[in-house]
Amino acid sequence: MKTLYIFLTRSGTLVSNLVYALTGAEYTHISLAFDEDLNTLYSSTRKNGYTMFPAGPSREYLNKGVFRLRENIPCALYALEVSDEAYARAKRRAEHMMTHGELYRFNSLGLLLCAFHIRWNRRRHYFCSQFVSEVLQKSGSLDLPKHSTLMRPNDYAALPQLKCLYQGKLAGLPQRQSMEMSEVESVIGLYLEVFFGAVKSGARRMF
C-alpha cells in the first residue's frame, strides 16, 4: 500500500474569494501530492504560481507562488491509502498532464457552473478539484460520490476514506516549516514575462 496526499486551502486570491462568496466553503482549492514531504503539489491552477493567467494543470510548491506569499491562509492535509498499482497510475497520469501542459487549459466556465451544481465537461479543460478528482477516479484510487465536474475541494474533507493529518494555518504546516523560503518574485516582472511569452507565441503562429 502507498499513500496519496490531498491538500486543501483557501488562498484569498480573486478566484478563491469568488468561490468562497458563491459557496461559503471553508476550502476553495485542492492539490494532490505523492510524497509525505509535499515537495511537489499537482493541481489545475496558475502556471507561474503568482499571476492568474496562464492557468491549467501545473505543479505548485509550498515555498513559492501564492503559498509563499500567504502563510496565514487556512489549510488541511489528508492522507488516502491506495494500492501500489493505483498510486503508479495516478502519478503517471498527473505527470503526463504536466509534461504535456500545452494541451490543457483551465476550465473557467466549469468552475463557475460547479458552484451551481451544473456539470460542464470540456475536453482537456480542468479546474482544480476536477483535475484531482479525475486523476483519483481514473487511477482507481477513489470512488467519487459524484461526477468529477461537480466535486468541490470542500467535499474531500467529508470523505470517510481520507484521514486528516493537519488542519490549521499554512504557516503551521510541518512540511512548510521545514522548507527554505524562495525569494518573492516581482509580480510586474511576471506579468511582463507572460506578455512577451504571448507575443512570441503569436509570432510563431503567424510565421
Instruction: Please indicate whether residue 194 or residue 93 has the higher confidence score (pLDDT).
Output: 93
pLDDT digits 0-9 by tens, 112-152: 999 999 999 999 999 999 999 999 999 999 999 999 999 99
pLDDT value for 18: 84
Residue 153 near residue 74 (C-beta atoms within 8 A): no
3-state secondary structure of 77: strand
Task: Using alpha carbons, select from 138, 136, 130, 152 the residue that is nearest to residue 56.
Answer: 130
Indicate the domain borders of the chain: 2-181
Residues 65 and 46 sit within 8 Å (Cβ to Cβ): yes
Look up residue 40 and give its three cell numbers.
511537489
pLDDT at 194: 46
Model confidence over 153-201: pLDDT tens digits?
A: 999 999 999 999 999 999 999 999 999 886 655 554 544 454 545 444 4
What is the pTM (predicted TM-score) of this model?
A: 0.86
Please tell me the CATH code under which domain 2-181 is placed: 3.90.1720
pLDDT of residue 47: 84
H helix or E strand, kind and range, residue 93: helix 84-99
Question: What digits encode the pLDDT tens for the residues 17-75?
Answer: 888 888 899 999 999 999 999 999 999 998 877 777 788 999 999 999 899 999 999 99
Q: Of 202, 29, 20, whose CA–CA distance to 115 is shortest?
A: 20
d(CA 153, CA 62): 18
What pLDDT does residue 202 have?
Answer: 46
pLDDT score for 184: 58
pLDDT score, position 176: 95
Looking at residue 182, its pLDDT comes to 65
pLDDT reported for residue 15: 84
